[in-house]
Structure 1
Amino acid sequence: MLESVNRVLVSRSALAHNFGLCRRQVPSAAVMAMVKADAYGHGMLECARVFADCGAEAFGVAEVVEGVQLRQAGFVQPVFILAGVLPDFFDALFEYDLTPILVDGEFVSPLAVKAASLGKRINVHLKVDAGMGRQGCLLSDAPEIVGRIANQKYLHLAGIMAHFPKADDPASGSSERILSDFLKMTTGLGLETARGFSLHIANSGGIFSVSGSGLDMVRPGISLYGYPAGGAGSGKGTAAEQLQPAMSFTSRVIQARVVPAGTGLGYGHTFITKRTTRLAVLPVGYEDGYLRSLGDSAQVLLHGRRAPVVGRISMNLTLVDVTELGDVRSGDEAVLLGRQGKESITADEIADWMRTISYEVLCLLGHCNRIVYTD
């Protein structure tokens, strides 16, 4: 079968290495491997297989549909639905044995009614907003909601969670304050000794940077895929420096051509050649997740060396100035993300060119291209 020359490569060995590195930071905590958003663009099912083989105790996803896909693929570990669940999806929770995260008290009674009608008890976790300001109940409201859940015969409160907003910024001190407030609240409830009960707050940044945040379970995300939570340089001085990027993105030169000085390149002629210029044309564009904002700023690897992207990125084409690289020809491999020879381009670097974060880069490239697994 014919396939695009553009492909995302994902290293299973890098995924396993990163999982092990996270595990070693918090050896007494269970690991909920975050595989939401198609495993940050790396392919949910295959990544889940790798993490399951490494001993992941649970998986975290955003939506019910992702949890259903994991169950249909044969995964038996607990699957947590972290972004909340609407009543339309309650049936699937029971059919596929999924664990909902309740973000407030709104659906406590409706979920209890559904559970009672089916005669099935369901585990739930409660998300509290300990400082993220995004989702969850206020710390002050948690005791009342916990009491309401406890009064429901068919609901079992199996855990309470929160999320660090600035774990990638240890100097702020906010994570330590949030952890302290979270533990003070949960200790006051007297639930932490209950059988099967777990507290969890640590994301990737917390695992590597917030001492004592491992608690009963941790939720590594971006670190599983090889990047520190705060971008390039944020993991310095911690074990996060040992993370291995799992994704590469490659293409091949579709045309090599020479243009004279004074030639305008691409839409809008944002780049005008100042000399006779050799160009490599790549069949890559914003359709492939290589966004227009990378024009005139990004670099790619050819023949093991860096070369600048010139002109605007088109829907399906990108121009690269290879004048300094010698005899670049059609068919030569181009690496837009990853390593070639001694050089490498990281998602953090691409994110800087795009003025975004590595998470978005990985999701875009993984969602827009075929994935090939290596190792």
Structure 2
Amino acid sequence: MSASPAWVEVDTAAVAHNLRAVRVALGPGTPLCAVVKADAYGHGTDLVVPVLIAHGVTCLGVTSNEEARTARGAGFHGRILRLRAALGEEVEDAAVLDIQEWVAGADHARVVAEAGDATGRRPRVHVSINATGISRDGIDLDVPDAAAQLTAIGADRRLSVVGVASHFPREDAEDVRTGARAFDAQSRLAGALLSTRPLERHCATSYAALTVPESRFDLVRIGAALYGDTSAAVPGLRPAMRLVSRIAAITSYPAGRSVGYDRTHVLDAPAHLAAVPLGYADGYQRALGGRAEVLVRGRRAPVVDRLAMNTLLVDVSAVGGAAIGDEVVLYGAQDAERITAADLERASGEIAANLYTSWGRLLPRRAAPSPD
């Protein structure tokens, strides 16, 4: 039993299982970058990277230097690719970590080059282009100075350009196909301006790589699928996280009582309400109040109040024998029942990753116990 009132359990065996399933779906010969950004989507770089090393992963995608530092400390000797534009001081700090940087235009390229100068290092970089229309940090080839930007980056001897990259804005097969065709053409044009050598080309996310084979190019970046959360049709993926707490108290109230802040819920019958010591300060968003369900004794039970900062209320009237100390699962499986990513998305109106990436970083985290 955890000493914390709420915690995250990470099933590292599920991560290994999902990696194998993804490799089968991709087929042999598709280079893979395992994405551990946002502290492995909240699952813990320290827990996930050893699994990836054991299964022969040779490329990791990160956003922070701390993720890269944890990976190197765990014995990862492969290449590490940053999947966003970094500040100059981040690039300087990353010198000893050998991170390949994501470059977002000529001005940003100069920042990266100057950071390399400061550390006596020639950064290897992947230049982002806006072929897919995400319009976030890539050079748009339709702007007047695009060719000049690409030529300037390629001519800067302080940088070693090794790749051309992009990212898809939608999980929609036709949108991905259209973006992949544009990326194919534009990355060739960009590559010719950036280097006389062939450059690695990559834009595929989990959904794109597993749904639209022509999006794979030279490398696929697999994040969400590793953790069992993707809308791609890959059979057998297993969610790798559970969010767990316990019932701290159970109190009975008569019909007609309002429940929690703002009186948003009124009991239409006598009820037993369980107080669970988890709230919006722990990343369980207030939007879930009155809409989400949790698991108690293998049965679904509704969250009925609007949530407090560190407490929520669950109606356990229909859960036979519910008692103080019972395990409460807010995401993941309990017995034969499961609270899924889709459940969370319906209740919150947000993608599930918006929730669980926070839980894993705000709450105590541990590896799930091995099955008997």
Query: Could you state the TM-score of these two structures normalised by the residue count of structure 2?
Result: 0.90
Look up the match of 1:36.
37
Three-state SS of the structure 1 residue aligned to 2:252 is: strand
The Cα shift of 1:80 comes to 1.5
CA contact (8 A) 1:299 1:308 kept: yes
Shift >6 Å, 4+ stretches: 191-196
Is it true that 1:340 corresponds to 2:334 in the alignment? yes
Instruction: Measure the CA separation in 2 of the matches of 1:111 and 1:299.
Output: 47
Q: Distance in 1 between matches of 2:263 and 2:162?
A: 59
Following TM superposition, by how much is the alpha carbon of 1:163 offset from its aligned partner in structure 2, in angstroms?
Answer: 0.8
Please list, as runs of the form range in 1=range in 2, the aligned pairs for 1:180-195 lying within 5 A after superposition: 180-188=181-189, 189-190=191-192
Matches within 5 A, 1:134-283: 134-140=136-142, 143-166=147-170, 168-170=171-173, 173-188=174-189, 189-190=191-192, 197-228=199-230, 234-235=231-232, 238-239=233-234, 241-283=235-277
For 1:169, give the aligned amino acid.
D
CA contact (8 A) 1:186 1:192 kept: no
Is it true that 1:293 corresponds to 2:293 in the alignment? no
Corresponding pairs, count:
364
Q: 1:145 to 1:54 in 2, by over 3 A?
A: farther
Q: Could you tell which deviates more after superposition, 126-135 or 113-122?
A: 113-122
Is the 2:147–2:193 contact (alpha carbons within 8 Å) kept by the matching residues of 1? no
The aligned amino acid for 2:4 is S
Rounded to whole Å, the distance in 2 between the matches of 1:118 and 1:36 is 24
Match of 2:361 in 1: 367
Q: Which residue identity does 1:82 align to in structure 2?
A: L
Write the distance in 1 (CA, Å) between the matches of 2:313 and 2:115: 57
Cα shift at 1:95: 2.6
Alignment of 1:75-90 (within 5 A): 75-90=76-91
**In 1, Cα distance between equivalents of 2:361 and 2:332:** 17
Equivalent residues of 1:125, 1:157 under 8 A apart: yes
Structure 2 segments unaligned to the other structure (5+ residues): none
Given that 1:191 and 1:197 are in contact with CA atoms closer than 8 Å, whether structure 2 keeps it comes out as: no
Q: 1:108 to 1:273 in 2, by over 3 A?
A: closer
Query: Does structure 1 residue 352 correspond to structure 2 residue 330?
Result: no
Per the alignment, in what secondary structure is the counterpart of residue 256 of structure 2? coil
Shifted more, 299-308 versus 133-142: the winner is: 133-142
Quote the Cα distance in structure 1 between the aligned partners of 2:82 and 2:22: 21
Percent identity between matched residues is 33
Calculate the TM-score normalised by the size of structure 1: 0.89
Secondary structure (helix, strand or coil) at the match of 2:164 reads strand
After superposition, the C-alpha distances for 1:275-307 in whole angstroms (9 at most, x for unaligned) are 221222211211222222222111111111111
Structure 1 residue 116: Cα displacement: 5.2
Q: 1:315 and 2:319 equivalent?
A: no
Q: Could you tell me how far 1:96 is from its partner in structure 2?
A: 2.2
Deviation (angstroms), 1:24: 2.4
Range with greater deviation from structure 2 (69-78 or 296-305) = 69-78
For the structure 1 residues 117 and 36, does the alpha-carbon distance in structure 2 shift closer, same or farther, using more than 3 Å as the test? closer
Distance 2:48 2:149 in 1: 35
Distance 1:278 1:153 in 2: 70
Q: How do 1:6-17 and structure 2 match up within 5 A?
A: 6-17=6-17
- How much does 1:161 deviate? 0.6
